[in-house]
């Protein structure tokens, strides 16, 4: 069975609402990516070296990353030669297959939802530079798990950025969610400690701790995150249970550089890509997975609270490459 048919059959068995969100949310990326592939196909009657060079450029422009692009194109070229394929129209399915494999082969850790602890609070640290949608993502995660019946506590651990605590307090009020705050420039670890103690006392299911988005000095960032982890472990030896990095899809390869820097500073368990609906370069998900070996757990496909979706590789590739077929 061809991959396109395989994807369509898998998507057919999934939620229509989720499929529509992926198709709509990836509209800009799909139109950019697919239109370039179609234009490339129309220019060549037979594939040759120049065709593959142009294919490389399309993937690089989609923020797939240079190294991964070369791997994907080399694998596509190899299979093309082995199967004796010369028609450009037959290449796209091979290409998407290699994109699928590039993500899936990184490991079997493709999980999305937070794995809640059986006893006591589950602790999630959220890291990322300022301006990537970190606070909004925290609110969307809180909303998601409140809807699942979980008791959520927010901890305003970003005491460095002016207005960060107030911004999180506004979201907490909207969500009717408890929040622990400190003073401006207070030691984030002490705020985190207060939050963990309150969570234990109040039988909270999920603690979401915001952190300062400072990346200018990796040593300071590493020390700060290490201290937060130590104070958490005084109260909850197995914590933090999750550390999510928030990346803005519009930052492209700069986002990949940010991700690598944070990976050096702490043990990431997942990545959340925000503003996917606002970018025309949807390949960043593949680049992040390739560079970090860390799974993308959620992606932002719109501004509404409900628009933070579990990452689904099938839905992603369908939305990026095939979503327009229903419109034809």
Are 191 and 180 a contacting pair, CB within 8 Å? yes
> What percent helix, strand, coil does the chain show, rounded to 5?
55, 10, 30
The predicted pLDDT at position 200 comes to 97
Q: Is the peptide bond before 240 cis (omega within 30 degrees of 0)?
A: yes
- Render pLDDT for 278-302 as a digit per residue (tens, 0 to 9): 999 999 999 999 999 999 999 999 9
The residue among 185, 150, 193 whose CA lies nearest residue 165 is 185
Least confident of 2-11, 112-121, 247-256: 2-11
pLDDT band at 152 (very low <50, low <70, confident <90, very high): very high
pTM of the model: 0.93
The class (CATH top level) of 122-321 is alpha beta
| Backbone φ and ψ of 309, nearest 5° | -110, 145
The residue among 314, 313, 307 whose CA lies nearest residue 24 is 307
Burial 37-61 (b: 16+ CB within 10 A, else e): beebbeebeebeeebbeebbebbbb
pLDDT band at 13 (very low <50, low <70, confident <90, very high): low
Burial group, residue 304, by CB count within 10 angstroms (0-12, 13-18, 19+): exposed
- Render pLDDT for 73-93 as a digit per residue (tens, 0 to 9): 999 999 999 999 999 988 988
Contacts of 20 (CB under 8 A, 6+ apart): none
Whole-angstrom Cα distance, residue 273 to residue 52? 29
15, 40, 156, 181, 205 from 327: Cα distances, Å: 19, 21, 45, 49, 43
How many CA within 13 A on the CB side of residue 319?
28
Are 169 and 207 a contacting pair, CB within 8 Å? no
Fold agreement (15-108, 122-321): no
CATH architecture of 15-108: Up-down Bundle (1.20)
The predicted pLDDT at position 1 comes to 43
- Render pLDDT for 105-118 as a digit per residue (tens, 0 to 9): 876 566 789 989 99
The predicted pLDDT at position 282 comes to 92
DSSP 8-state class, residue 85: -
Domain ranges of the chain: 15-108, 122-321
């Amino acid at each position: 069975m061809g991959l396109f048919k395989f994807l369509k059959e898998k998507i057919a068995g999934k939620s229509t609402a989720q499929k529509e969100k992926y198709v709509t949310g990836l509209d800009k990326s799909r139109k950019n990516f697919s239109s370039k592939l179609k234009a490339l196909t129309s220019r060549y009657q037979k594939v040759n070296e120049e065709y593959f060079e142009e294919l490389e450029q399309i993937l690089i422009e989609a923020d797939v990353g240079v190294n991964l692009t070369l791997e994907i194109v080399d694998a596509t070229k190899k299979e093309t030669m082995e199967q004796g394929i010369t028609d450009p129209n037959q290449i796209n399915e091979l290409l998407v297959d290699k994109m699928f494999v590039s993500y899936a082969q990184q490991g079997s850790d493709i999980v999305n939802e937070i794995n809640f602890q059986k006893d006591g609070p589950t602790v999630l640290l959220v890291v990322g530079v300022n301006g990537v949608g970190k606070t909004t993502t925290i609110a969307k995660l809180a909303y998601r798990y409140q809807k699942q019946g979980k008791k959520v506590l927010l901890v305003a651990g970003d005491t460095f950025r002016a207005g960060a605590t107030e911004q999180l307090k506004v979201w907490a009020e909207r969500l009717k969610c408890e929040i622990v705050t400190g003073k401006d420039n207070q030691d984030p670890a002490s705020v985190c400690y207060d939050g963990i103690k309150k969570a234990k006392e109040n039988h909270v299911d999920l603690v979401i701790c915001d952190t300062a988005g400072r990346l200018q000095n990796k040593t300071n960032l590493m020390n700060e995150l290490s201290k937060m982890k130590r104070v958490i472990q005084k109260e909850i030896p197995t914590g933090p249970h999750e550390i999510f990095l928030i990346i803005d899809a519009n930052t492209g390869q700069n986002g990949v550089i940010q991700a690598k820097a944070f990976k050096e500073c702490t043990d990431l368990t997942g990545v959340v890509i925000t503003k996917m609906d606002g970018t025309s370069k949807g390949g960043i998900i593949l680049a992040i997975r390739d560079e970090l070996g860390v799974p993308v757990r959620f992606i932002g496909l719109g501004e509404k609270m409900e628009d933070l979706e579990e990452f689904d590789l099938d839905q992603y590739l369908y939305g990026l490459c095939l979503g327009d077929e229903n419109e034809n």
